[in-house]
């Protein structure tokens, strides 16, 4: 009975939050694509700095170990991004050149940024999302094993605080593909890893609880990398004062949403 409740709760939280985020991103807010990129950057950074890292450091594990994990995670996602760029180059018969000729410098910059916008960030955010969702599953399983009502509240809290974050994920994937359905399926699959974390957490909750801070740090490293290396560079354009103010406002809205929802989830 507890295992069934964990499965229902983790799928409700992990996949349900993705579908709520999609309803908002592709429905009500679909017209504001550029603004959603700003919101995505803010949501991913806030998830990393205001939610995941504080929880990891509350575990009592030495900061040097957690910062080393963060550094390794950032390097790993950089290499993952680089591998995707090379794979993209091989598929299209073009490899990125380290020394472009002067008369083609402008076109090379355009091609490189075009290639990065179509490959960078997607795999990194999905990998980090999967790790994050696995950790959420372990937390929900632990809550259900303590008390069924506590488990239900935990599942609802996870769903609530994942919605703004998954809106960010969907916008990252939408910036690399025009296929909404593919983006939704990919993020939903990552969200379903919550159920895997819940099932394993049911059997190995004590052992996995010791590793949970490391899961949180690895997930935060992916969100930091995607926001800083992929999203924010897309926002660094010469804009008018009104457009710049709008970018900053939506960035702050993304930060505020995640911070608010995370604080409410912690209170309950």
HEC-encoded secondary structure of the chain: CHHHHHHHHHHHHHHHHHHHHHHHHHHHCCCCHHHHHHHHHHHHHHHHHHHHHHHHHCCCCCHHHHHHHHHHHHHHHHHHHHHHHHHHHHHCCCCCCCCCCHHHHHHHHHHHHHHHHHHCCHHHHHHHHHHHHHHHHHHHHHHHHHCHHHHHHHHHHHHHHHHHHHHHHHHHHHCCCCCHHHHHHHHHHHHHHHHHHHHHHHHHHHHHHHHHHHHHHHHHHHHHHHHHHHHHHHHCCCCCHHHHHHHHHHHHHHHHHHHHHHHHHHHC
For the cut 70, the answer to whether the pLDDT of residue 260 exceeds it is yes
pLDDT at 31: 65
User: In the predicted model, what is the mean pLDDT of the chain?
Assistant: 76
pLDDT at 265: 61
pLDDT per position as a tens digit, 96-122: 444 444 444 444 344 444 434 444 557
Of 56-60, 115-119, 131-135, 208-212, the one with minimum mean pLDDT is: 115-119
For the cut 60, the answer to whether the pLDDT of residue 200 exceeds it is yes
For the cut 60, the answer to whether the pLDDT of residue 152 exceeds it is yes
Please give the average per-residue pLDDT across 44-68, as a whole number. Answer: 87
pLDDT at 32: 65
């Amino acid at each position: 009975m507890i295992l069934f409740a964990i499965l229902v709760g983790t799928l409700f939280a992990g996949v349900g939050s993705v579908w709520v985020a999609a309803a908002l991103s592709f429905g009500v807010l679909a017209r504001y694509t550029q603004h959603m990129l700003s919101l995505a950057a803010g949501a991913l950074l806030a998830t990393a700095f205001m939610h995941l890292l504080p929880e990891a450091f509350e575990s009592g594990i030495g900061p040097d170990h957690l910062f080393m994990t963060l550094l390794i995670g950032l390097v790993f996602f950089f290499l993952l991004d680089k591998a995707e760029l090379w794979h993209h180059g091989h598929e299209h018969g073009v490899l990125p050149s380290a020394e472009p000729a002067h008369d083609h410098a402008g076109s090379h910059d355009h091609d490189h940024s075009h290639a990065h916008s179509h490959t960078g960030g997607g795999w990194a955010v999905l990998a980090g999302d999967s790790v994050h969702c696995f950790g959420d599953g372990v937390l929900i399983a632990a809550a259900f094993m303590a008390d069924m009502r506590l488990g239900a509240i935990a599942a609802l809290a996870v769903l609530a605080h994942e919605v703004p974050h998954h809106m960010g994920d969907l916008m990252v994937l939408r910036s690399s593909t025009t296929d909404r359905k593919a983006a939704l399926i990919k993020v939903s699959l990552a969200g379903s890893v919550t159920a895997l974390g819940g099932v394993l957490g049911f059997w190995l909750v004590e052992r996995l609880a010791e590793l949970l801070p490391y899961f949180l740090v690895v997930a935060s490293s992916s969100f930091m990398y995607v926001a800083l290396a992929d999203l924010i560079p897309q926002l660094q354009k010469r804009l008018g004062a009104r457009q710049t103010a709008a970018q900053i406002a939506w960035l702050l809205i993304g930060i505020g949403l995640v911070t608010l929802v995370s604080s409410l989830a912690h209170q309950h």
